[in-house]
Amino acid sequence: MARDRATVRDVAAATGLSIATVSRVLNGQANVAPHTRELVLAAVGRLGDQAPRPRAEPAAGAVYVRCPYLLTDYFGLIVSSVAETIDLHGRQMILNAGETAQSAEILKTLPGRSGIAGAILILPPEEPIDLVRLRDQSFPFVVVDPRTPPAKDMAAVSAAHFAGGRAVMAHLVGLGHRRVGIIGGPVDWLAAEARLAGYASALAGAGVLPLPELTRAVVEPNTGNGYRAAAELLDLPERPTALVAFNDKMAVGAMWAAAERGLSIPRDLSIAGFDDIDVSRATSPALTTVRQPLQEMGRTAVTLLMRILGKQAVEALHVSLGSQLVIRESTGPVPAVPLVSH
């Protein structure tokens, strides 16, 4: 029969020290004499695997936060929650932000920088191989909203893109829509691929396959590109009865295109977005969208990094946080007689 695991009391008995002193050593506290620490560690060595192990001291230093985008709405919410959580852990934050930072070769310099314990990388624009090289240097980091599928042993936090895409398309299908235009994000983005798969899943449940003629992809998911993609779709001989956009900004662009064509939302055309940023509540009508837990993504990423820095076991390296469908006035039943472009 296997012997029960040794306890702090067993280590105290083996060394003749008090339980409180042994606990201070095992918890990495500084107020212990060097010879006492050595005595406890030697006893732990003798007891082998049955002894409680000392806790590794977390790596000291600041957290480097890289977000090479404008800190408005989407990214601002993530970064603010990251900053607040880092402060709660008593760490300093070094922020690298703004679109001009995209061209800077930051990742290769991080392991050699003094005073930096680890990093939070938000939608990193670098190639996947650059992240792998950083990981191979044993530099601790967590990716938030990864652009490409993260390696199996790389820590990452994202939202449930597939489930969110499926929920918003299922909502439109439930309203009777079958001819739905999809304004997708960049084709090489993980989020765009997952959301598109979610849309397709919901359509398939209604016996419909996404038509290539009703699908557009953009290089940059902004309002202008949403407008242009929507204009193409709405000018088709048989236009869609609904549009679902990769994000809320593109959905706003789609609303502009609809207004130019005299279409009433949602009477003539339903439009839905993704993210639930402030603009989704400022449109008229208010935008149906999928709420991403942006602030929770930031908090979770910092908590995950702190566990890594503390040498704690992390069983779930890829964390996907649930999204929520928010139904507002921009979506309604399919028109009784679909309008045809002239």
Structural domains in the chain (count): 3
Q: Write out 115-154 in H/E/C secondary structure.
A: CEEEEEEECCCCCHHHHHHHHHCCCCEEEECCCCCCCCCC
Residue 337 counted as domain residue? no
- Whether residues 205 and 276 share a domain: the answer is yes
* Torsion sign over Cα 101, 104, 107, 110: negative
In a domain? residue 23: yes
**Same domain flag for 117 and 94:** yes
Instruction: Give the mean pLDDT of 202-209.
Output: 92
CATH number at residue 15: 1.10.260.40
Scan for tokens 């895409």, then name that residue.
165
Which pLDDT band holds residue 1 (cuts at 50, 70, 90)? very low
In a domain, 313, yes or no: yes
Integer Cα distance of 53 and 48 in angstroms? 9
Indicate whether 228 and 316 sit together in one domain: no
Confirm whether 338 is domain-assigned. Answer: no
| Same domain? 178 vs 258 | yes
Domain boundary among 270, 288, 306: 288
Helix/strand/coil for 284:
coil
Do 234 and 279 have their domain in common? yes
pLDDT digits (tens, 9 = 90+) for 232-262: 999 999 999 999 999 999 999 999 999 999 9
Same structural domain, 280 and 222: yes
Range of the domain at 266: 161-288
Beta carbons within 8 Å of 275's beta carbon, 6+ residues apart: 74, 247, 248, 289, 290, 291, 292, 294
Q: Are 85 and 30 in contact (CB under 8 A)?
A: no
Statement to judge: residues 189 and 174 lie in one domain: yes
Reported as a pLDDT band with limits 50, 70 and 90, residue 3 is: very low
Residue 108 lies in a domain: yes
Same domain membership, residue 277 and residue 304: no
For residue 43, being part of any structural domain is answered with: yes
Is residue 331 included in any domain, yes or no? no
User: Is 1 inside a domain boundary?
Assistant: no
Q: How far is CA 231 from CA 168, 238, 251, 256, 269, in A?
A: 21, 13, 12, 9, 13
- Are 202 and 244 members of one domain? yes
Q: Which residue is listed with tokens 């950083």? A: 134
**209 and 274 housed in the same domain:** yes
Do 107 and 138 lie in a common domain?
yes
Q: What global pTM score does this model have?
A: 0.77
Verify that 283 and 181 share a domain, yes or no: yes
The CATH number that applies at residue 279 is 3.40.50.2300
Average pLDDT of the chain, as a whole number = 88
Q: Is the pLDDT of residue 174 over 90?
A: yes
pLDDT tens digits, residue range 81-118? Answer: 999 999 998 999 999 998 887 777 889 899 988 899 99
pLDDT tens per residue across span 139-165: 999 999 999 998 888 999 999 999 999
